[in-house]
Each structure stands twice: as structure tokens, then as C-alpha cells.
Amino acid sequence: MKKGIHPENYRMVAFKDMSNGDVFLTRSTANTKETLDVDGVEYPLIKLEISRTSHPFYTGKSKLVDTAGRIDKFKNKYAKFKK
């Protein structure tokens, strides 16, 4: 491997699947401002929309995602800022 091209700041990071709440730890260099307490230890947090525990390919189950409801909720939430 070439020297000096790989990041040096690997650390344990918590990844949380927001669709089902599953959390897993792995090493990463991803930057984040949020943290999560896992078993009494605080880790940087990366939020995921989908992971191995919720993806239909891995679970074998089809899941209906309410994208229309999410869009409507977003528009209603930020309608007050529209001029």
C-alpha cells in the first residue's frame, strides 16, 4: 500500500438505522456533531435511512415507505418560513 494516503483518524462510530432503531458500532473516519451513548460509552453518531436490518434484500421482506407522508410533513413544518 502507498504510504501517506490513508486517513489516520479512525475511531469507533455508532451507526443508527432511523427506520427501526438498530445501532451498530464500527470504525470510521466520518465527521459528525452528534453523539450516542451505547452501553455507557459515548460514540459519535451517524444516522442512516436504511441498513442491513431494514433493507428488503437482507430481511427478505418488502416494506412500504411512506414517502408521500414524509414530504407532506416536511412542507407543513416549513410552510411558516415561506414568504
- For the cut 80, the answer to whether the pLDDT of residue 5 exceeds it is yes
Amino acid at 13: V
Assign 66 a pLDDT band (cuts: 50, 70, 90): low
Q: How confident is the model at residue 14 (pLDDT cuts 50, 70, 90)?
A: very high
C-alpha cell, 4: 501517506
Kind and range of the H or E run holding 80: none
pTM: 0.62
pLDDT at 41: 94
Query: For residues 10 and 28, is the Cβ–Cβ distance under 8 A?
Result: yes
Distance CA 12, CA 58 (A): 24
